[in-house]
Amino acid sequence: MSAITFTIEKRLPKFLGRAGRLETSHGVIETPAFVTVGTKATVKALTIEQIRDAGAEVVLANTYHLYFEPGEKIVKAAGGLGAFMGWNGPTMTDSGGFQAFSLGAAFEKGVGKISKRGISQEEKRSESLIEERSRDISIRPESPLATITEDGVSFKSYKDGSTHLFTPERSIDIQHDIGADIIFAFDECTSPDASEAYQKEALERTNRWAKRSLKRHQELQESERGSTFREIQSRTSGTPQALFGIVQGGRVPEFRRRSATFTSSLPFDGFGIGGSFDKKDIGTAIEWVNEILPEEKPRHLLGIGEPLDLFEAVQNGCDLFDCVTPTRLARNASLYTTQGKINILNAEFRSDLSPVDGTCRCYTCLNYTKAYLAHLFRSKELLSNTLASIHNLTFIISLVKGIRQAILEGTFSKMKEDFEKRYLS
């Protein structure tokens, strides 16, 4: 019996998009859905109650970070990720593969998973500032913290510099202990600036790692057959887990399609679509993949969360999305509105007694003004991070819920057109 059940409720005419229901042992996710990122089993500056009030249905944590602190065995002993953090809904973990990029090529060359081609100079300056302010590494070595080999990825701990090897098998073992409802195969995310030769090499390695991840997942599942629930709990978190394979291939159409064809040939429960992309053609790159992936299984777009990108991703067949951007932007005084992003530190907001967004029904917008948030950020008060994060998270989750409703009602195209006009005005 599968750990998840996915049902398509309505398809988007002329496109690959759809609205559906993804059932897990910890509840239902109505798709399309934005997956809230709680990297270290916490969404920065927010309580579980605030996350729930923002409308979140599912939370994703980071395998790499939980391995180093507090350690997967402690999470397992607590009853798994959800119980450990006090969240009773569906959970997910990534594989740690993205850190091979962020602590390797990205660390060394200062690049992101999305190419800056097609992004305005203002956006580039804003993203660079946020990346600079939000590096989550407590030591600052001269060399990268990740080295990739055929066997796996050798990481240097961001805490003390010690070396740790993540293989596909080790990643799956750790994720089984963490116990999320949905876990991911170990993969290599490449730089958008990598050569075609390296993109091909990394893709072929990711394919081999996919088979190894799946084999280990099946071994762990087989070891649980015939066991009592208590015996299973003693070895794992006790949560039935779905494994998603990851499609890579960079910006090369042939590689993307080849990856999608190979990954869909394996008995994964669903699929993740990884970077790297050109900003201007995210929708096209996703379409290459989703034309091939089996439509009866869910598709998760990894690390994408900007409002306009979400419309493209949904239209082209993605069901789930995770990204740290909403809360990271919030902690850096950048707030979403239906008229586009604003920086609350701008002088014009010091005396602005209106809410961040008059159409938003979040706790922050119902109770506070732009002037008050501007005051908190200028005074470096901790409450600024909480109130801004509540707003940005609610805004994105509500936007995706609205997109879902528009698919069900047959008004998606009009919603997309109206939102783009307002957001880009």
Q: Which residues are annotated as a binding site for substrate?
A: 94-98, 187, 248, 275
Q: Which residue numbers belong to the known binding site?
A: 94-98, 187, 248, 275, 360, 362, 365, 391
Choose the catalytic residue: 177, 309, 322, 357.
322
Task: Please tell me whether residue 338 adopts helix, strand or coil conformation.
Answer: coil
Residues sharing a CB contact under 8 Å with residue 315, sequence separation 6 or more, in sequence order = 12, 15, 16, 17, 283, 412, 416
Q: How many angstroms separate the first and last alpha carbons of the chain?
A: 50
Rounded to the nearest angstrom, the gap between the alpha carbon of residue 290 and the centroid of all alpha carbons in its chain is 18
| Three state DSSP letters for 20-82 | EEEEECCEEEEECEEEEECCCCCCCCCCHHHHHHCCCCCEEECHHHHHHCCCHHHHHHCCCHH
Structure tokens at 265: 């040939």
Choose the catalytic residue: 94, 181, 319, 357.
94
Is 193 part of the annotated catalytic residue set?
no
What's the rounded Cα separation, in Å, for the pair 166 and 245? 17
Other residues' Cβ atoms within 10 Å of the Cβ of residue 117? 13
CB 26 within 8 A of CB 90: yes
What's the rounded Cα separation, in Å, for the pair 179 and 215? 18
Per DSSP bridges, beta strands 27-31 and 18-24 are antiparallel
CB 335 within 8 A of CB 318: no
Q: Which residue numbers belong to the known binding site for Zn(2+)?
A: 360, 362, 365, 391
Rounded to the nearest 10 degrees, the angle between the axes of helix 307-315 and helix 383-409 is 30
Q: 328: closest CA among 133, 158, 111?
A: 133
Is 160 part of the annotated catalytic residue set?
no
Q: Which residues pair with 335 in a beta bridge?
A: 342
Active site residues: 94, 322
